[in-house]
């Protein structure tokens, strides 16, 4: 277990994180350029976590430089979002418990079905150093907001 300090996520954003959000995670490539990818997000009340495989560029980027940023918009109202900047901590998901928890939450299946045979999974825990939750005019009632999804 890490002893890193993590800034709290404001309660006003908890609904964004407990839904089925897709975040956009930014990592730094070894050449200094940024790389941004969509990811499924899990939140345990303190940390945002995502999963990846070791063959992906984001894994190699984080091994080289653990600085990370992620922007997570509300699923039905992208005018509301939380941005987290911090440090990534990676742990092997050898028993696949984390990726399977994502599959249950996002897809209602017990086993994540899309990995190639032998794919090595890691869990990325983001330790928040800065958290932004800007107040945007009309964020709670934008004129063109899509219909809300029915309750699960």
Scan for tokens 């928890």, then name that residue.
101
Provide the pairing of β-strand 81-92 with 67-73. Answer: antiparallel
Give the pLDDT of residue 134: 81
Phi-psi region of 32 (alpha: psi -120 to 50; beta: other; left: phi over 0): left
Give the pLDDT of residue 68: 98
Which letter, b or e, does each residue of 2-29 get, where b requires 16 or more Cβ atoms within 10 Å of its Cβ? Answer: eeeebeebeeebeebbebebebbbbbbe
pLDDT (tens place) for every residue of the chain, 152 residues total: 556 778 999 998 999 999 999 999 999 999 999 999 999 999 999 999 999 999 999 999 999 999 999 999 998 888 889 999 999 999 999 999 999 999 999 999 999 999 999 999 999 999 999 999 987 765 566 555 555 555 55
Domains of the chain: 11-130 (2.30.110.10)
d(CA 10, CA 7): 9
Give the pLDDT of residue 82: 96
Give the pLDDT of residue 145: 52
| Contact assessment for residue 126 and residue 84, using Cβ atoms and an 8 Å cutoff | yes
The pTM of this model reads 0.86
Give the pLDDT of residue 142: 56
Give the pLDDT of residue 148: 59
């Amino acid at each position: 277990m890490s002893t890193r300090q993590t800034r709290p996520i404001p309660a006003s954003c908890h609904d964004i994180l407990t839904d089925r959000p897709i975040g956009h995670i930014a990592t730094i490539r070894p050449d200094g350029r940024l790389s941004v990818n969509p990811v499924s997000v899990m939140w345990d009340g303190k940390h945002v976590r995502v999963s990846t495989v070791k063959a992906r560029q984001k894994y190699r980027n984080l091994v080289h430089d653990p600085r990370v940023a992620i922007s997570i918009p509300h699923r039905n109202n992208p005018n509301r979002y939380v941005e987290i900047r911090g440090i990534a901590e990676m742990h092997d998901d050898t028993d696949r418990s984390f990726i399977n928890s994502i599959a249950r939450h996002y897809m209602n299946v017990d086993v994540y079905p899309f990995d190639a045979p032998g794919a090595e999974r890691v869990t990325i825990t983001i330790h928040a150093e800065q958290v932004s939750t800007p107040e945007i005019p009309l964020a709670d009632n934008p004129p063109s907001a899509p219909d809300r999804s029915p309750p699960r």
